[in-house]
Structure formats: structure tokens, C-alpha cells
Amino acid sequence: MDASFWDGKRASGLTDHIDFTQYNSAIDAIEEAFVTYADRPAFTSLGYTLSFRQIDEYSAAFAHYLQNHTSLLPGDAIAIQMLNTLQYPIAVYGALRAGLRIVNTNPLYTEREMIHQFNDSGAKALLCMDVFAKSVENIQAETSLELILTTSLADMLPSVKRMLINSTVKHIKKMVPKYHLPQAISFRKVINQSLGKGFNTTHLNQPDDTIVLQYTGGTTGVAKSAELTNANIVANMLQSGTVTMQKDENGKALMGEGKQSIMVAPLPLYHIYSFTVHLMAFFRLGEHSVLIANPRDTETFIKAIKPFKMTGLMGLNTLFVSLMESPNFKQLDFSEMVFTLSGGTALLDDTAERWKQITGIGISEAYGLTECSPAVCMNPFNGRERLGSVGQALPGTSLKCINAIGDEVAIGERGELCVKGPQVMKAYWNRPKATRESFTPGGEWLLTGDIAIIDEDGYVSIVDRVKDMIIVSGFNVFPNEIEGIVATHPDVLNCAAIGVPDPKQGEVIKLYIVTQDNVTLTGEDIKTFCKDKLTSYKIPRQFEFRKELPMSPVGKILRRKLKEDNDEQRKIA
């Protein structure tokens, strides 16, 4: 459906049309925010807050250093490998101001993955946390890196707190392996020596200039990089920012009206979802983001947000479940909370219902992918979110579902979701064949690989991944449906379904289950539970109980890894 299909269907206050030409570049929007919101708090990390003015000054210093004290040229790539700390926005804005391209790097990458990404992107510079520096030492000779900068967790905090936290991380928690990088330069020293000095902003400032090389998760084959341009990032910055325009049933704005919103950022900034929303959309609007360095440390996470009356929180299903397991989470002040956004993986109904009971706020599921910068669809909030749906297309976005031969299917029918809009990537970096294969003939629509349904109201439901679909005796089975049912069992904490080979049925469903503590559960118990909820061919036949499931750094269950584990078990057997 064309983008106009959604006009008039959106919640009160949400716009149908956006002027995507109001900024030439992402940094134009950032520069505007520096001036407009100079005295507001911008980012908080480890209990310390920097204002928009301070972020402006520190990032300007980094831009000056990059342009005047390194061999880097406009258009060169700089990799950033850090947790959610105050250094992250400073580095991103500074690098963009200097005319460099950003390569967001997962800190949990293996050395092999680091070598691939750095060489594939042509990265000439790297800023990494000292926690990961040993791996950098091991692989530097196999890369084209010319400049290495290192930083410690608390480097942007006042001296006493900085030394205490960094010393604890290094000497007590033993989180920093010994490394030898004599050529590495201290990020903190670079900032301090360059404060108050100027820089040139005439580079990579055109709409079609690529400013971010964002790597996919590599779930199929070698990880590819989506080329995201100024136009892509600006479009998605503006599209994502529209969520703050929503009004209640009386026409009153839910956010804004002179009051700064407080947004909690537990998802890693190296992930495009958090990168675009927190570093771009919310920053442009003058909002305050609370950065969480390690969301898996649930109790520390809760302590970090306790001083704030948060407006919104972005997360995903596994994160919400872990928070709700803590009694301390229930003691937080949710009185000014307006929304919770979920993305990256399917939200389970049971999770959403329990979350609303505790916080009083529903979870609004959204949908996106790296190749779309990433946001494509989003649910409204304030009680108008639809469970089981990822919401409606963002303004300026066209969607359609197609069948196996490429024909568009009717409203309400399943098909592969296709996207067209200003947020869709330019291409895969240096991969013309992969780029062609990811678009419909003619290159007009991006093929997402997701099976979806679009209803008459314009709400989109993601049924499953094309590659994750299980075929049992010729019938299509979608793992999300199985997992959604089994997750409602009171003794099940988490689960994942895959298809495994079967000589009679082609495939049967194998279910991996994590139970609540001190609970004894069997496969027969699960079969009985599913009997009146799923048709017979959808009921799992094989079961494996585990203490945990393999997950990506942002909390996605890795079905691919489970399939690999199952294949290994079959070989041994």
C-alpha cells in the first residue's frame, strides 16, 4: 500500500506528513539541538549528567583533534566499540562534525568478527573501551587501523568518582585484561587538550552522503553493512520523533509542552534502534536520555533509574521479563511514565499484560530493520496500542505484502513484507549482488524477509521470519505462535521453537524451554498444555530444557544457534 493508505488512520496528534528536506544532514539537526537546548541535561551515565552545552563542547574538541592531529580524511570510517557511556554521544557527534563515517561495533564481537568488520568497512580509526583492548591488540596487525583511541568506563565523570569506578572495574572486578597498545591514545586526554578549538563542518553534509555503516547481525552468512545516508538518518530521526506528538482522548499532549522528557536507554547505542532513537530523534527534540551500560545487571539497572520519574523506556521482551522478576522494580515511581517501546524481537502477550499490571502503562511494539535506519512501524500508546501488532507505518513509508511469485496479496493475507520510504538504505556496502537480491526487481521495494499481515486499519502484524518458518507435513508453522502459547504457562520463563528434520513429516517442532526456578516440567506437560490451544501438527514433538537460551547482545533469542546445536547433537548421535 502507498504511504497515503495510512493517512487519517493514525492516533490523535500523529502527523501524516513530514518535510524530510528540513535538514541537509544529521549533524545539522544535532547542531540545532546544541543551541536550542544548551542548558538542558542531555545524557546521564553512572549517576553523572552532561548538558547539551557540555556535549557540544566535548564533541567539538573531538572533531578538532580528528581533523588536526590525525591522518584521517573526510569520508574515512571510524569504528566505535563501547558500552552505553557518556563517551558514546561525544564520539559520534564529534566524528560526524569532522566528516567521518560511523561504524558502530558490537563490544561482544569475537576477534574474527572484528577483523571482518574493520576490514570490510575500511575503518582507519577505532575508539574502544579498555575492557576490549586486548582483543584489539590481538587483531590490529590484520586490519587497516591507523589510529586507536582507548577509554575507560567512567572517563567523563568528575575526578574522584572517575578514579574510583575505573579502579574498581580494573583492579577489583578484574574486567580489563592486560594489553599492550603503545600507540593507543587516551580519549579523555584528547578531549581535554582540544577543548575550545575549532573544526571544519564542510564534509559529508549532503543528503546522499553515507554517514553510517551499520552491520547486520550476520544471522545468515557473513555480516553485511547497510549504507545509511544523511537522508536516511534524518528521515528516520523525524519519523521516530513523531511518537512524542501523541495526544490523549481529550486532545492534551502526552509529552512536551515545555517539559523535558526522560528516556531510559538500556539497549546498546551501537544497535541502530537505540542509535537513531536516542542519539538522533530524542536528542533533536531536547530530551534527556539515561544510558544503561549493562542492562543484564538488573539490580544496578534499577538503581540507575530510581532517581528519575521516567517518561519512556525502550527495550525488548527479555529485558522486560528480567525487570519484572525483581521486587525492586515494582517500587519505582511510574507516575509520569507515558510509554514503553518494544522492538527487535517479538513481544509476548503475557509479558505485555504483566508489564501493564505493574507499571500501569502498556507496551507499544514497534518494528524495524537495520536496512531501514531502522524504524518502519510503530504502535500508538496511552491505551491505544494493539497487542500482537507492530503498529502502523511511519509517515512517508509505504508497505505491501507479496506472495512467493512477487504479487501483492490482499489486505488481511500473509505475505513477505516489503518497504519503500526515505529511511531505506542506499545499498549494502561493497555488495552489489546482495543489494540486488534484497530488493524487488527494479530496486523499488526492500524485501524484509519477514512474513506479515496488514489489516484494514493499517495495523501490521509480523507473523515470523521467512527463514524461520517450519514446514510440518506441508503445513506452514510459525515459531512465534508456538512460543507465544507456551510462554503463558506459569512455569515457563522463556522458550524457543525450531524445526528439525523428520523422515515422515519433513520437519517436526523442537522446543527449548527455560523454567522458573525449582520447577519440574516435562515435555508431556507442555504437550498437554498445548493440546486445546494449538492444532495437532503445531504441537512440539521434541523438547530440551535449559538454564538459559543463546541470545544476541540486545536480547534476541538466537534460533540459528539452537539449530546449530541440534545439528551437532544429531552428528554425535
- Of 157, 186, 205, which marks where a domain is finished? 205
Q: Residue 291 domain-assigned?
A: no
Residue 47 has pLDDT above 60, yes or no: yes
CA 326 to chain centre: 24
* pLDDT tens track for 342-368: 987 778 888 899 999 999 999 999 999
pLDDT for the residue numbered 474: 67
Q: Give the cell for residue 530.
A: 498445548
Closest CA to 529 of 493, 491, 478: 491
Q: Residue 429 domain-assigned?
A: no
Contact 418, 372 (CB under 8 A): no
* pLDDT tens track for 261-304: 999 999 999 999 999 999 999 999 999 999 999 998 999 999 99
CA–CA dist 543, 553 (Å, integer): 25
Closest CA to 543 of 473, 492, 478, 503: 492
The strands making up 185-186's β-sheet, listed across from edge to edge, are 185-186, 147-151, 125-129, 77-81, 101-104, 210-215, 225-229, 427-428
pTM of the model: 0.86
Identify which has the larger pLDDT, 387 or 45: 45
Q: Residue 422 domain-assigned?
A: no
- Of 187, 205, 223, which marks where a domain is finished? 205
Identify which has the larger pLDDT, 14 or 344: 14
Tell me the average pLDDT across 454-483. 84
Domain that holds residue 118: 49-205
Residue 219 has pLDDT above 60, yes or no: no
Q: What is the CATH number of the domain that holds 77?
A: 3.40.50.980
User: What is the tally of structural domains in the chain?
Assistant: 2
Q: Residue 563 domain-assigned?
A: yes
* Residues contacting 559, CB < 8 A, separation 6+: 468, 479, 496, 497, 498
* Residues contacting 492, CB < 8 A, separation 6+: 486, 513, 514, 515, 516, 521
CA–CA dist 290, 555 (Å, integer): 19
Q: What is the CATH number of the domain that holds 557?
A: 3.30.300.30
pLDDT for the residue numbered 220: 40
CA 66 to chain centre: 28
- Work out the burial of residue 427: count CB atoms within 10 Å of its CB; fewer than 13 is exposed, 13-18 middle, 19 or more buried: buried
pLDDT for the residue numbered 573: 66
* Exposure b/e, 397-407, CB count within 10 A at least 16 = b: bbbbbbeeeee
CA–CA dist 514, 539 (Å, integer): 18
Identify which has the larger pLDDT, 381 or 193: 193
* pLDDT tens track for 177-197: 999 999 999 999 999 999 999
Contact 14, 246 (CB under 8 A): yes
Q: Residue 242 domain-assigned?
A: no
Q: Residue 455 domain-assigned?
A: no
- Of 176, 205, 234, which marks where a domain is finished? 205
The pLDDT confidence band at residue 31, using thresholds 50, 70 and 90, is very high
Identify which has the larger pLDDT, 573 or 107: 107
